[in-house]
Each structure stands twice: as C-alpha cells, then as structure tokens.
Amino acid sequence: MIRAISVIFLVAGLGWAAFGFMRGGSSWPSAETSQRTPVVVELFTSEGCSSCPPADLLLQKFDTQPISGAQLIVLSEHVDYWNHIGWTDPYSSAAYSERQSAYGRRLRLESVYTPQMIVDGTEEFVGSDSSEAQTALKHATVGAKLPVRVSEARVEGGSVKAHIETGPLPESLNKAEVVFVVALNRAESQVTHGENSGKRLTHVAVVRSLSKAGLVEHGEAFSRDVAVKMDKNIDPSQLRVIAFVQEAGQGKILGSALEKVSR
C-alpha cells in the first residue's frame, strides 16, 4: 500500500579537466564509471510498506550501473512513519522522514509517500515506476555537474572518516550545502509482522548517517576532512561513503561522488 503523509517539515557546473584535486585517492567502482555523469537517486522506502519491495528491487538494479553515460549514486532512506503498524524497520529514522518532508515542501507536493524516488533533488515519482525513472535519469545526465571527490575513506577510532573536495561553486549561486553520507552496501531483513509479514527483503545503499559537512560559498571550492561515529560492529568492507553538493533549502543536487571504505 502506498501511503501519503502531510508535509510538515521544512528543512552551472565545471568539467573534471578544469579542477585539480589536492589529495590522492582511487575512484570507485571503476575508472570507466568515474567518467560517467554522477546522478543521485534517493529512494524513500519502508519495510512496513507492501508497495516498497518493487522499488527496492529497482534501486538494486540501478546500483549495477545499467545506464550508459550515467553513474547512479543510489541511496535507500528508510522512513519511520510506518513503524506503528506492526513492524519496526530496523533501518528507519525520523531524520529520513524529515528529509523527505522537506523535499515535499520544496517540490510543492500536497503530501509525500512511499515508495518515493527523487533524482538529483529535482524530479520525484513513485519509486517502482521504471519508466518515470528512465525519463528523470535522462534529464539528470544533461549538462555539466560540479566536480566532487571523496578520498581516504576509512574506519578509524570508531568513526568513518573521509576527505571531501569540490570544484568552485558557480558565482550564480550564493551558497550550497555539502552533505556526507555513510551507507551499507547491502542489508536484508526477515519481516515477521506488518504488510510484508513473511517476506525476506533486501536493500542496497542503506543510509546509516546523513549529515551536513559544511557550506561552499559562491566562487569558492570546498576541502575538508569529515568524520561520523559508526556502530563498531559494522564491517568496514560493507560500507560506502557518498558526498554531494545541494542547493541550500534542499534544492538541486549539483554534483556528487562515492567511495568504498577501507579498513
């Protein structure tokens, strides 16, 4: 069942050749992929929603990089507003519900719902609709993106650490937020209650931390080490980190990058 909720929260590019990074580090998943146009695909989902498993599977397909010329940087953000009907999604957080609601306000939606997919912060649609997704992804690959790089991603002292760099923000923009995300490569659950009772559900790129790393001002670049606390029981080899630059007010995503985490 697709469920809608009221929206109550408010929360120009340069080519790679024009931007020299100051730190070393390998790209992921491949050199070929790094030459593609990065596109952020956010799926707002829940293990308590019977309409969500097909959208989870579509996101898994996108994570295999099936679209020529695009590097799909997928994020599975589990909302918490389904938890009261019998199954508490172990990957859910009120923070992701709030992020989704902020998108609803920004995109002037009457309500938000699950499963909902949002591409580069600008286009939204039912998360299992592959046709709408193909159209949105095609739009997102047109035009240059702001260069973003994540390097030196590692687990150290109970934290996931990395270095983030971006190209200069176009002077047409006053400022933008740099967002740092830590996600599980893969997760699964045997659901015993709620709408998906009896099903074994699988997910990719399950967001475990999403935080603002700082601001990038117009005409300036961004370079900073970042760190977030992480459950010590998580295997570092099962983690990926993502960084993206998003217009203030949770608007358009201007550029993005991802990196696997080393031990």
Burial of 127 (0-12, 13-18, 19+ CB in 10 A): buried
Q: What is the DSSP letter of 173?
A: S
- Give the separation between CA 104 and CA 110, rounded to whole angstroms: 7
In the prediction, which pLDDT does 1 show?
59
Q: What is the DSSP letter of 230?
A: -
Q: Is 52 in a helix, a strand, or coil?
A: helix
In the prediction, which pLDDT does 3 show?
52
- Give the separation between CA 28 and CA 167, rounded to whole angstroms: 19
Residues of the chain with pLDDT under 50: 5-29
CB contact set of 121 (below 8 Å; sequence gap of 6+): 40, 103, 106, 246, 247, 250, 251, 252, 253
Domains of the chain from N-terminus onward: 19-260 (2.60.40.10)
8 A C-beta contact, residue 96 and residue 209: no
- Give the separation between CA 246 and CA 138, rounded to whole angstroms: 19
In the prediction, which pLDDT does 19 show?
37
With CA atoms as reference, report the closest residue to 54 among 141, 143, 133, 171.
133
In the prediction, which pLDDT does 16 show?
33
Residues in the chain: 263
Question: Which residue is it, tokens 């286009």?
Answer: 123
Q: Is 107 in a helix, a strand, or coil?
A: coil
With CA atoms as reference, report the closest residue to 78 among 200, 157, 188.
188
